[in-house]
Amino acid sequence: MENYKIVVSRLALDDLEMISDFIVKLNTTEASRIFVSNLYDDIQSLSYLAAMIPLSTSNTLKKIHPNAKRLLSKNKKWNIVFYINEGYVVVDRIILSKTVK
């Protein structure tokens, strides 16, 4: 099993910040911290899971990257959109699951 290094794009970092801000408005700062921490754990799992995940057939994700793959977050509300490039997993975006078609 290959281990990949993880790179998170600026857009994905912006997505995480937006998610955090949204959760703070609905809940607490601590809840937001825990939620975002769980998303980071999901992202880190790609270091060993990425190769096992098939390319996406979703047109939504192909618009993000032609070789897009996706990992559904543990709470199933978010898709971590990524691709593999020369030993790296590049996380492109984090989008709501219901927006993927």
Q: What residue ranges do the domains of the chain occupy?
A: 5-99
Task: Name 60's Cβ contacts closer than 8 Å, sequence gap at least 6.
Answer: 95, 99, 100, 101
User: Is residue 32 very low, low, confident or very high in pLDDT (cuts 50, 70, 90)?
Assistant: confident
Per-residue pLDDT at 82 exceeds 90: yes
**28 vs 40 pLDDT, higher one:** 40
Task: Name 42's Cβ contacts closer than 8 Å, sequence gap at least 6.
Answer: 71, 73, 74, 80
Global pTM reads 0.92
Overall fold of domain 5-99: YaeB-like fold (3.30.2310)
Per-residue pLDDT at 97 exceeds 70: yes
Per-residue pLDDT at 1 exceeds 70: no
